[in-house]
Amino acid sequence: MDHQHRHSSSPRELQMARSMCWHCQSEVSGEYFCDRCVKVQPVSKELDYFTCMGFPRRLTIDPRQLESKFYELSRAFHPDFFQNKSAEEQTISLGNSAMLNSAYRTLRDPIQRAEYLLDLEAGAVKDIRTSPPADLFEEILELQDTLDEYRAADRASDTAATLCAKLQMERTTLERRQQDMENALQQLFTQWDILQDRGEATDQTRAERDRILKHMRDILSNRTYVKNIVNDLVATIS
């Protein structure tokens, strides 16, 4: 947590769609409003959410800082404050607000934030596919069979009781695995942030960076899969 105070003290300037004011054609130096004619400027559609909200591409973000930035920008962009303005300004306000709301929603949640970062940074490895963890493959197949058997069994029978006990054990195992994955993700987030903070661009850091992203991608893919299985399991035995 203590890294980010250093960074947030100098957030990147918000990039605008054009460097020139759409209204008075004077140069816009990078704030949300033109210095000269004070008209709101459209946030570029190509702008990433981190830059949009003035945060570096880090995976640990203080939720309170994010919230106060969200509130600050909402006060700047919200259509409520453009009721008396021109139609162009109202359209820009609407677009900027919608973009800001998407940015906040994505960055607020650590998992969505990581998935979004992967999409931005990881290039070829960015696709997150819901897939089972390789080492658990056999176990999960077996679990699916047990689940089917249990569903077919008479609930009052001894067989069902045995199956249920077995499923309970599987549940404990999987939930432990989920916790492990969360911890591993946290570690990767920290590693990514340290690397980002160093800001070096050597071959070594590039390789390290790719390793982190790929590992993160794998965990995120497994995570969703295991989550679905656990939900299914809990719904069946409860």
Of 47, 60, 79, 230, the one binding other proteins (CB under 8 A) is 79
CB of 192 to other proteins, least distance (A): 25
Of 22, 49, 55, 104, the one binding other proteins (CB under 8 A) is 104
CB of 167 to other proteins, least distance (A): 25
The phi, psi pair for 27, rounded to 5°, reads -70, 135
**Both structure tokens of 233:** 């399991």
* 84 near other proteins (CB under 8 A): yes
Nearer to other proteins by Cβ, of 105 and 176: the residue is 105
CB of 176 to other proteins, least distance (A): 24
State the helix-helix crossing angle for 203-237 and 158-198, rounded to 10 degrees: 160
Identity at 41, one-letter amino acid code? Q
Of 9, 10, 83, 202, the one binding other proteins (CB under 8 A) is 83
* 192 near other proteins (CB under 8 A): no
* 74 near other proteins (CB under 8 A): yes
Residue with tokens 């250093």: 6
Q: Which stretch binds other proteins (CB under 8 A): 102-110, 123-131, 133-141, 157-165?
A: 102-110
* 78 near other proteins (CB under 8 A): yes
CB of 67 to other proteins, least distance (A): 8
CB-CB contact of 74 with 183 (8 Å): no
Q: Which of 97, 98, 115 has its CA nearest to residue 106?
A: 115
CB of 22 to other proteins, least distance (A): 17
CA atoms lying within 13 Å on the CB side of residue 7? 25
Of 37, 98, 152, 207, the one binding other proteins (CB under 8 A) is 98
CB of 158 to other proteins, least distance (A): 37
Q: What Å distances lie between residue 133 and 3, 207, 223, CA to CA? A: 32, 23, 8
Of 13, 27, 35, 80, the one binding other proteins (CB under 8 A) is 80
Can you spell out the DSSP letters for 99-136?
A: HHHHHHHHHHSHHHHHHHHHHHH-GGGG-------GGG
- Burial pattern 115-128, b for ≥16 Cβ within 10 A else e, equals bbbbeebbeeeeeb
* 138 near other proteins (CB under 8 A): no
CB-CB contact of 130 with 80 (8 Å): no
Residues that bind other proteins (CB under 8 A): 71, 74-75, 78-81, 83-84, 94-95, 97-99, 101-102, 104-105
